[in-house]
Structure 1
Amino acid sequence: MSFARAPLLGALSVMMIAFSLFSFGLFGLVALNFKQQFGAVEERIEIEAFVDDSTNVETLADAVSEIARFPEVARALPVTKDEALERARRDMGEFKDVFDASFLPASIKVQVREGFRDPATVQRVADRIATYAFVDDVRYGAEFVEQLYDIRNVATGTGIVLGIAFAAVAIIIIAATIRITVLARAREISIMRLVGATNGFVRRPFLLEGVATGILGGLLALLLLWLSFAVIGRYIPLVFLERPMAIGGIAFGGLIGFLGSALSVGRHLKRV
């Protein structure tokens, strides 16, 4: 109905819903692929506690066993001076002869469990490990951890803000479209009321129109996401949204359309 009477506003409604859901969907793609692509990077988040040279083997073993039982810890492993030397020589390549066993201390390497790798939790675990008397220093790459989560938070916030903004504009445009349609059909609605049509009966086609507009916007958003995925996927290996997420996005488009129609049709029917 609105496309025949107000094609520009009808098209704008579909496009704004599409851009709204596209923003949400793009955020979903970023979040999904961030987890896929940066999962290995996140696994590199570990804490290394360097211990005093005078620490005996039994004390170190007891500490490792205790740290491994922390709820945030996936595993804790002791690294002897010889093992540290071997690792350093392997990493340094041609400069491997620079190091000797006396140069590198023994340490405890702690891998943080998934779900506990945010900066605050990692720092809390590091601070707890630092309370052991024989621990000289604790390092975990605080700057790296914070930057990793800053990227995630910025991507999340941007997607949500853009999605909400486009959704709000879409609701306003749909409301304006429905208003024009209601006013254009004022005479027809008056006749329907004269023959006994209830407000619910009169309102129904407008609500269905809003839902249809939202679903069209959802389908367009899904198409835009797929095109973006296809283009970027040529250069970066990506995974697409799972089917429940895609269907949920289209359904959310229908909900936006319904809300826009419901907000407008009830108010303007009273004036007809």
Structure 2
Amino acid sequence: MKARTLSRHFRESFKSLGRNSWMTVASVSAVTVTLLLVGVFAIIMMNLNKVANDLENDVEIRVLIDIIQDEQELKSAEEKLIAEIKNMPDVSEVEYSTKEQELDKLVQNFGDELTLFEQNNPLHNVLYVKAVDPQQTAQVAAAIEKLDTTYQVLYGKGKVENLFGALNIGRNIGLVLIVGLLFTAMFLISNTIRITIIARRDEIEIMKLVGATNSFVRVPFVLEGMWIGVLGALVPITTVSIIYYNLHKNLAPRMQGELLQLLDVTPVLLQVNALLLLLGVVIGIWGSFMSVRKFLKI
């Protein structure tokens, strides 16, 4: 397509927005409402997914090592056990903690009364193990339990499986809702644009009668759909950015040190805003193209 022709199509698409102002407002409003819902829901789901990931990454396996009186024999057995666990393909991290360190943690959490056990410490040396995939924690724990020198393997059996099950269900529901919302947005926006094009059937028929090709007729409408998508995305982008920025500004300081943390403003808003703009453009172009092609029989 020649640059002059393309320039003409751009001018016509802008003029068409002004000539059909009421239909443009209706189309932009449909885009705005649906993309606003998509943006808000995307922000919520991204933060919920972060919470789910944080909970998963917080799951670890606590391996109690057998008590062996001979120091040399204990050290050798522990080194062998650590090496065996580190060599497991599903293990990402192994941290060693002495029984003295374990007692210090208990004193810190439950009070100085437990310092009485310092003279005769009944605790075990411990290995804290994390799986590469937190969902594989139970399998890794079962494999470690079979190794020599392991006294007991603890990972919250039963509770961890229930947690992962609930998180997976939540992710699947969120994915289904987002896909459903996107299809709803595409349906509403394409229908609105379709009405706009049908209202201008005479204009298209006149263009065809004077010899305009299909692409010559179609391109201005496709560009017009793109502008409608861009204009419709501006309000959701601005609204979502303002709301999340203020929400993060007020809540993030209060949640410092807590397990639940909000995603940082910069990456999440850039990602969501880019998604909204892309969706607006794609849906606007797609709605215009399909409406002209299918319903006006060009």
Matched, 1:240 2:265: yes
Structure 1 residues 79 and 182, CA gap change in structure 2 (3 angstroms): closer
CA distance in 2, matches of 1:224, 1:148: 34
Verify the 8 A CA contact 1:167 1:256 in the aligned structure 2.
no
Tell me the distance in 1 between the aligned counterparts of 2:126 and 2:294: 71
For 1:183 and 1:104, locate their aligned partners in 2 and report how far apart those are by CA, in whole Å: 79
Name the Cα RMSD after superposition.
3.1
* Alignment check: 8 A CA contact 2:107 2:113 kept: yes
- What's the CA shift string for 1:180-199, capped at 9, x where partnerless? 22222222211111111112
1:103 lines up with 2:112 in the alignment: no
Instruction: Give the TM-score normalised by structure 1.
Output: 0.79
1:1-272 correspondence to structure 2 within 5 Å? 1=17, 3-5=21-23, 7-8=25-26, 10-31=28-49, 34=51, 39=54, 44-54=58-68, 56-57=73-74, 58-97=76-115, 99=117, 101=120, 103-110=122-129, 112=130, 116-119=132-135, 121-142=136-157, 145-146=160-161, 149=164, 153=168, 156-233=171-248, 234-237=250-253, 238=262, 239-242=264-267, 243=270, 246-270=273-297
Report if the CA contact (8 A) 2:62-2:126 is conserved: yes
What is the deviation of 1:152? 5.2
Number of residue pairs the alignment of both structures matches: 263
How far apart are 1:143 and its partner, in Å? 5.8
- What is the distance in 2 between the residues matched to 1:90 and 1:183? 74
- Separation in 2 of the partners of 1:158 and 1:177? 28
Are 1:21 and 1:163, in contact at CA under 8 Å, matched by a contact in 2? no
Residue 21 and residue 3 in structure 1: after superposition, are their counterparts in 2 closer, same or farther (change >3 A)? farther
- Per-residue CA deviations over 1:212-239 (Å, capped at 9, x if unaligned) read 2222333222223213213322122541
Q: Deviations over 1:25-76 (max 9, x none)?
A: 44335546x48xx75x665432111233248311222111221233333443
Distance in 2 between residues matched to 1:44 and 1:172, nearest whole Å: 41
Instruction: Flag the 1:79–1:173 CA change in 2: closer, same or farther, 3 A.
Output: closer
Instruction: Return the alpha-carbon distance in structure 1 between the equivalents of residues 100 and 278 of structure 2.
Output: 60
Contact 1:211–1:258 (CA under 8 A) maintained in structure 2? yes
The residue type paired with residue 180 of structure 1 is I
| CA 1:166–1:138: 2 relative to 1, 3 Å | same
TM-score under structure 2 length normalisation: 0.73
Deviation at 1:145, TM superposition (A): 4.5
Q: Which amino acid aligns with 1:170?
A: A
Identity of aligned residues (%): 27
Contact 1:10 1:177 in 2 (8 A): no
